[in-house]
Structure 1
Amino acid sequence: MHANSHSGRVAVITGASSGIGEATARALTADGFRVALLARRVDRIQALADELGDGAIAIEADVTDRDSLVAAAQRVQDELGGADVLVNNAGVMLLAPFTSEQRAEQRQMVEVNLLGAMTATEVFLDQLRDGGGDLVNISSVAGRTARAGNAAYAATKWGMNGWSEALRQELQPDVRVIVVEPGAVATELVNHITHGETKEAIEQFYDATSITADDIAEIIAFAVTRPHSVSLNEILVRPTRQQG
């Protein structure tokens, strides 16, 4: 399959301002996709769109704000002709012990990681169905293995996995549902942890083991460029040195 054989296909990527989202935008553009970059940090996605060139557009959007996603979907329809791929990548990993002090962060993870992905999918679903598309949900190893200190985060990722599996059955054969479950990937996720001890431990773990956002982006690009008859439904990707 030639790299340019997907020219004309349109991918919408949430959380496209950094990390896996940014890397996926680059990888899909290299494969001939046109990309709609969605994020809150409009300066970052505008710079990325300028760099990626024709067919890349930057749209300020917050996955916790349905109106902003509806407006984004309208722009994608008007300017790019609709979405063929939606990558639900926006997420936060605010790891900490489960205490009342962390209740705002617990809620934020549910609203961004789980409800945000559900809302984006609901808003773009008609576009994905139109001609057969791909829904790519970025989950985590934490969607399979819960551990002390990641209770609320694990809840969002286990939730995403169950929701994705039900959707896979509901949407086939029109839309492929692809779940990607990365382990430790060097992104900004760790920077946002506010619980001091947890942050220190996670930083040490990531420094010793993590792979790159590009590694995950290549896997996403591979999955969405398979013939439509082939579905890579669940892809668990750990750094080779990561144990759990």
Structure 2
Amino acid sequence: MTQTLLITGASSGIGAATARAAVKAGWQVALLARSRDALEKLAAELGDAALALPCDITERDQLSEAVAKTIERFGGLDAVYANAGKGSSSPGIEQGDPDDWHAMIHLNVLAVLTTAHATLPHLRKTKGHFVVTGSKAGRDHMKGSVYGATKWFVQGIAGNLAEEMREWGGRCTLITPGMVDTPFFDEPKPDKIQPDDVANAVVFALSQPRSADVREIHIMPSG
């Protein structure tokens, strides 16, 4: 039976790479992001196994509608990859931009919570899997990094969610990469982790037998 994976931040980088890897592994994918053109192009590439759902996941009504459309199209939900996130150009806390922090915290923290809140009732039915993108920045202290602090939250909530889902047979996996060569950065980083590397880790976690609960996969650039 074909399984369904919902991916946020699916229009580029890690999200798009994960969509391709998941479809190759036999999954159906619901693709969520704000960029309609990029999503529809990716969905066309992936064919009938993909559903493009342009939306802003920081808007709870839009997120709930996208989840409902996923269920309507595919009949259920087996896994979620909460991948959407953003960085900050603020140089630190004293000189930082509170408006910039607000937008970043809304996406990196609150949207992870609301994505879980909107999808857990459906994952409970399938004893499903919730995967979330953390960061090496959520494992280390970095001078003045509010972005890093948002990823410390993700580090914590993933462990707490794993314990909650464990009660009904679900699983939660945290993916914590170091620097990844994605549009997140202004300049290409060809010597760093590639989006396909992270995508492969996600598919690996999803493919593990019920006897194995992979709680975290930490990836660093080689060398």
TM-score normalised over the length of structure 1: 0.87
How many residue pairs are counted as aligned between the two chains? 221
> 2-side partners of 1:209 and 1:145: how far apart?
22
1:221 corresponds to 2:221: no
Q: Which runs of 4+ in 1 moved over 2 A?
A: 206-209
Structure 2 contact 180–189 (Cα < 8 Å) conserved: no
Any conservation in 2 of the 1:55–1:80 contact (CA below 8 Å)?
no
Does the Cα contact within 8 Å between 2:77 and 2:126 map onto a contact in 1?
no
1:68 maps onto 2:62 in alignment: yes
RMSD over aligned CA atoms reads: 1.4
Q: Whole-Å Cα distance in 2 between the matches of residues 72 and 207 of structure 1? A: 33
Post-superposition offset of 1:147: 0.8
- Answer yes or no: is the 8 Å Cα contact 2:10–2:33 preserved in 1: yes
Structure 2 counterpart of 1:148:
143
Matched, 1:116 2:98: no
TM-score (norm 2): 0.95
Q: 1:29·1:35 contact (CA, 8 Å) conserved in 2?
A: yes
Assess if the C-alpha contact under 8 Å between 2:181 and 2:190 holds in 1: no
Show the counterpart of 2:52.
Answer: 58
Counterpart of 1:228 in 2: which secondary structure? coil
| Amino acid in the other structure paired with 2:25 | D
Does structure 2 conserve the Cα–Cα contact (< 8 Å) formed by 1:184 and 1:209?
no
Aligned-pair identity (%): 37
Contact 1:93 1:190 in 2 (8 A): no
Map of 1:1-244 to 2, 5 A cutoff? 8-95=2-89, 96-99=91-94, 101-150=96-145, 152-172=146-166, 173-191=168-186, 207=189, 209-241=191-223
The unaligned stretches of length 5 or more in structure 2 are: none
**Residues 174 and 217 in structure 2, CA contact (< 8 A), matched pair in contact too:** yes
Is contact 1:177–1:233 with CA below 8 Å preserved after alignment?
yes
From the two aligned structures, give the one with the greater helix fraction: 1
Gap regions ≥5 residues in structure 1: 1-6, 192-202
